[in-house]
C-alpha cells in the first residue's frame, strides 16, 4: 500500500479524534498558580502569578490522550511585596523584558488511579526548556454544576530547581546558607468548564 496514502489516513484519523475531543476553558476565578521558595533557609516566601491561560483538550474516558497547554505571564507575579516583585521581574531573576512568559506543553499523561494522574511535559522558562513531571489529583471531574455546565477540577504539584532554568541569582550568608533557596515548590489549582460536546 502506498506510504503516502497510509500517512494521509493517519492524519485524517488523528484530526477526527481531535475534532471529537472535548475542549475545556479555564474558570479563572476558581483557579490559581502558586509557588513557594526558602528564604534564608528558615522560612518560606510564597507567591502567585495572577495572569495565566490554560487550554485542555480531552475526555474523562481517555484521559491519557488529553493535551494540556499553559502560558503564565511573568509580569503578573505577586509576593505581596512590590520591591521584591520588581526584583523578581529584573534580569537577576525572570528577566521579564526578555522572557515575558512561562509555558508548559504536555507530552504524556499516565493514569495512576481513579483520582490521580502523572503529567509529563516541557516547561519553558527564562529561555530554557526542560521536561518536568507533576503529580495531579482530581477530586472530581465531569461534574455538572447547578447551572448545567460540566466542570472538572485538578490540583497539580511539582518541585523544580530554578538553576536548571538559568535563574541563578543568590547571596551567601556568613555561615554558608543562601538568601534564596534553589528548589521551588509549585502548586497549580484548576477549575475547567467544558466548551464542546462529543
- DSSP string covering 112-180: -SSSEEEEEEEEEETTEEEEEEEEEEEEEEEEEPTTS-EEEEEEEEEEEEGGGGT-----B-TTS-BSE
pLDDT of residue 13: 39
Q: pLDDT > 90: what percent of the chain? A: 64
Residue 23 CB-density burial (10 A; 0-12 exposed, 13-18 middle, 19+ buried): middle
pLDDT in tens, 147-161: 899 998 999 999 999
Global pTM reads 0.84
Average pLDDT, the chain: 86
Give the Cα separation of 38 and 194 in Å (integer).
37
pLDDT of residue 73: 98
Q: For residue 22, how many C-alpha atoms fall within 13 Å in the half-sphere facing its CB?
A: 19
CA nearest to 38, candidates 179, 158, 155: 179
pLDDT of residue 58: 87
Residue spans of the domains in the chain: they are 22-194
pLDDT of residue 98: 97
**What CATH homologous superfamily does 22-194 map to?**
Lipid/polyisoprenoid-binding, YceI-like (2.40.128.110)
- Return the H-helix or E-strand segment holding 16: helix 3-20
pLDDT of residue 170: 77
26 strand-pairing partners: 192
Q: Apex CA 53: angle with CA 31 and CA 71, to 5°?
A: 120
Q: What separation in angstroms does the CA of 45 have from each of 51, 110, 119, 188?
A: 19, 32, 26, 16
Amino acid at each position: 500500500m502506498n506510504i503516502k496514502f497510509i500517512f494521509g489516513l493517519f492524519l485524517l484519523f488523528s484530526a477526527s479524534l481531535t475534532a471529537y475531543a472535548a475542549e475545556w476553558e479555564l474558570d479563572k476565578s476558581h483557579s490559581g498558580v502558586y509557588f513557594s521558595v526558602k528564604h534564608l533557609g528558615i522560612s518560606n516566601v510564597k507567591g502567585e502569578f495572577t495572569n495565566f491561560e490554560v487550554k485542555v483538550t480531552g475526555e474523562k474516558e481517555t484521559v491519557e490522550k488529553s493535551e494540556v497547554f499553559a502560558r503564565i505571564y511573568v509580569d503578573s507575579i505577586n509576593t505581596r511585596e512590590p520591591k521584591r516583585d520588581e526584583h523578581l521581574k529584573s534580569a537577576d531573576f525572570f528577566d521579564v523584558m526578555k522572557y515575558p512568559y512561562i509555558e508548559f506543553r504536555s507530552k504524556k499523561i499516565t493514569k495512576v488511579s481513579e483520582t490521580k494522574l502523572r503529567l509529563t511535559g516541557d516547561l519553558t522558562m527564562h529561555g530554557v526548556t526542560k521536561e518536568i513531571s507533576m503529580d495531579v489529583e482530581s477530586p472530581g471531574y465531569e461534574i455538572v454544576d447547578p447551572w448545567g455546565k460540566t466542570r472538572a477540577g485538578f490540583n497539580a504539584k511539582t518541585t523544580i530547581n530554578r538553576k536548571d532554568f538559568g535563574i541563578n541569582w543568590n547571596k551567601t550568608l556568613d555561615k554558608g546558607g543562601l538568601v534564596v533557596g534553589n528548589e521551588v515548590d509549585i502548586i497549580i489549582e484548576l477549575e475547567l468548564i467544558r466548551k464542546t460536546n462529543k
